[in-house]
Amino acid sequence: MTKTYKITLLPGDGIGPEIMAVTVEVLQLLGKQLDLEFQFTEALLGGAAIDATGEPLPSVTLETCKQSDAVLLAAIGGYKWDDLPSGQRPEAGLLGLRSGLELFANLRPATILPQLIEASSLKREVVEGVDIMVVRELTGGIYFGKPKGIFINENGERRGVNTMVYSEAEIDRIGRVAFEAARKRSKRLCSVDKANVLEVSQLWRSCITELGKEYPDVELSHMYVDNAAMQLVRNPKQFDTIVTGNLFGDILSDAAAMLTGSIGMLPSASLGAGNPGVFEPVHGSAPDIAGQDKANPLAQVLSAAMMLRYGLNEPVAADKLEKAVLQVLDQGDRTGDIFSPGMNLLGCKAMGAALLRAMGE
């Protein structure tokens, strides 16, 4: 029987609509091939929503997202809206979407594709074979803990305060996402903290260790964040899945991503409790190349693969999409951002056509 999934599409701004169009075509073909039906509903977010409605996240967009099985987002933002006050800028739409859907887990893979190894700033022998998933807690920790603010003390001096706080329940729910993600990969999980200094990290470590007893098939290790930062550039191949809090994850996921050297290739997933997940490329709306058919659609397509794997539990379909991406790269097809001499330079649409051929259109 055909399985049906409701997908909300948020193409957003800049190159968003271009890379989304390619991804929708690819998903439509995949659906036909694997007997899956994707019912797409497009909604407004970011600058496009500001222009049409005056708000970066219209309530109908959030409602549509909540009613769907998964949300596929491209990117938002651009020069046109840069002078608006911060609460009215396109980014406010993105933050509103994340909090509206209670997306507490951010999954960022950093995979070195053999075809793009030269794009990394590290030596081939260090990065060859790297395949890491960073699971970052997204709605807690020092970014949200209270008290926070800049206060004036008795002698008139200003003090800046943020509070790093995690409850057992918050640690438990991100831990579960990470153990489940590790299960879908090589079954190794490294929890990163600063338990030698921070009490909040001591609680983190004890909760993750306790949770580990429920996942005896996953090999759990712990590492201090300073060591993890060092090991990521010294010997990244030792990592499979990493789980960490909001602040450490913010920094480590960017460091891990840059091992790959190419921003146009990086997908991400944000998952919440009881709401659909949001799947989006790591890159922004690239206003400098928007409307020129130069964008690399592969991070968006790989985000769709993450949607299939982590949002809809359709691993066969996810594998097929990822295989098609590898095949076009094997053929030497490249958009400008990952181009090197001797390869075939393609635009966004032509890259989409190459993917469809690779899937056996």
Among 283, 309, 320, 334, binds ligand NAD (CB under 6 A): 283
Residues 286-325, interacting with ligand NAD (CB under 6 A): 286-289, 295-296, 299
Q: Which of 187, 250, 293, 349 is catalytic?
A: 250
Q: Is 285 in the site for ligand NAD (CB under 6 A)?
A: yes
194 catalytic per annotation: yes
What are the DSSP E strand ranges found in 18-119?
36-42, 70-75, 103-111
Query: Which of 9/223 has CB closer to ligand NAD?
Result: 9
Nearer to ligand NAD, 107 or 182 (CB): 107
Exposure string for 242-279, b = 16+ CB within 10 A, e = fewer? bbbbbbbbbebbeebbbbbbbbbbbbbbbbbeeebbbb
Among candidate residues 162, 172, 163, 110, the one with its CA nearest the CA of residue 137: 172
17 binds ligand NAD (CB under 6 A): no
Q: Between residues 34 and 95, which has the closer beta carbon with respect to ligand NAD?
A: 95
Active site residue 226: yes
User: Residue 69 catalytic?
Assistant: no
* Under rule CB under 6 A, residue 51 binds ligand NAD: no
- Label residue 191 exposed, middle or buried (CB < 10 Å: 0-12, 13-18, 19+): buried
CB of 86 to ligand NAD, least distance (A): 11
Number of residues that bind ligand NAD (CB under 6 A): 22
Can you tell me which of 70, 75, 107, 110 binds ligand NAD, judged by CB under 6 A? 75
**Contact letters for ligand NAD, residues 90-119 (x by CB under 6 A):** -x--x-------------------------
Residue pointed to by tokens 């993600």: 181
Contact predicate 248/42, CB 8 Å = no
Regarding 244 and contact with ligand NAD (CB under 6 A), the answer is no
CB within 8 Å of 358: residues ≥ 6 apart: 323, 324, 327, 328, 331
User: Which amino acid, 234?
Assistant: R
Q: How far apart are CA 49 and CA 58, in angstroms?
A: 7
Distance of CA 41 to the CA centre of its chain: 21
Residue showing tokens 């800046």: 160
CA distance 241 to 361: 34
Q: How far is the CB of 330 from ligand NAD (least distance, A)?
A: 20
Of 13, 166, 194, 240, which residue is the catalytic one?
Answer: 194
In the window 189-228, what residues touch ligand NAD (CB under 6 A)? none
Residues marked active site are found at 143, 194, 226, 250, 254
Binding site residues, ligand NAD, CB under 6 A: 15, 75-78, 91, 94, 263-264, 280, 283-289, 295-296, 299, 335, 337
